[in-house]
Amino acid sequence: MTEREKNDWYVEPVECTRALIRAEEIYGGLGNTILDPCCGKGNILNTLYEHGYHNVEGGDIEDRGYRTTRFQQRDFLEYENEERWDCIISNPPYKHAEKIAWKALRQSRHRVYLFLNITFYASMAREDLFRLGKLARVHTFVERITMYPGDYQNVSRNSGTQTYAWFVFDHGWKRPTAELDRISIKN
């Protein structure tokens, strides 16, 4: 068995963020304030920026070199202030995903988009999070996606073995259950 990457840094392919952008308009359009609190090298934010979302900000527990827009090295779970963003979009470390989801809901005005293994949904331990009634959509990838540790850019891509999804929490959601959708990394 291999050791887990320090701080659970596993990088999502940029195609995953492109698929989210195709699946739904990021809340409020291009002028929103968007935070990725676990941005790593910035795949999510760079992709959003390329699609016209320029009011983006990154943070991470380690400085991994993200420099497209504002960046602060910080532990999102320990960072306390009153600042709120319109949207929070992230591929959080899985071992802290539930805590990050709770905090992101407190720090966001409209929506939280989390890129997670679909098993996140299949857990009694997270029942309180889902009972809030804010989980609006789950965009599940039809392809299996490999999440390489660290900078996957220098690793040959193999076919994945895990199923990932974008979990969309919406403060304005008024239904008791989430909508399910199937999306693809292909155009």
Confidence of residue 30 (pLDDT cuts 50, 70, 90): low
Convert 17-42 into a string of H (helix), E (strand) and C (coil). Answer: HHHHHHHCCCCCCCCCCEEECCCCCC
Would you say residue 124 lies in a domain?
A: yes
Residue 74 has a pLDDT of 87
- Averaged pLDDT, 45-50: 91
Q: How many domains does the chain have?
A: 1
Q: Give the mean pLDDT of the chain.
A: 86
Domain holding 102, by residue range, is 6-183
Given a cut of 80, whether residue 8 has pLDDT beyond it is no
- Averaged pLDDT, 161-186: 93
- The pLDDT > 90 percentage for the chain reads 53
For 57: left if phi > 0, alpha if psi spans -120 to 50, otherwise beta; the answer is beta
- Averaged pLDDT, 145-167: 74
- Averaged pLDDT, 71-88: 87
Contact 90/100 with Cβ under 8 angstroms? yes
- Averaged pLDDT, 102-110: 95
Would you say residue 1 lies in a domain?
A: no
Which of 19-33, 101-115, 169-183 is predicted with the least confidence, judged by mean pLDDT? Answer: 19-33
Would you say residue 125 lies in a domain?
A: yes
Which of residues 162 and 101 earns the better pLDDT score?
A: 101
Q: Closest Cα to residue 66, out of 46, 49, 48, 47?
A: 46
Helix (H, G, I), strand (E, B) or coil at 179: strand
- Averaged pLDDT, 139-153: 80
Given a cut of 90, whether residue 143 has pLDDT beyond it is yes
Residue 1 has a pLDDT of 42
Confidence of residue 159 (pLDDT cuts 50, 70, 90): low
Given a cut of 70, whether residue 145 has pLDDT beyond it is yes
CATH code for the domain of 64? 3.40.50.150
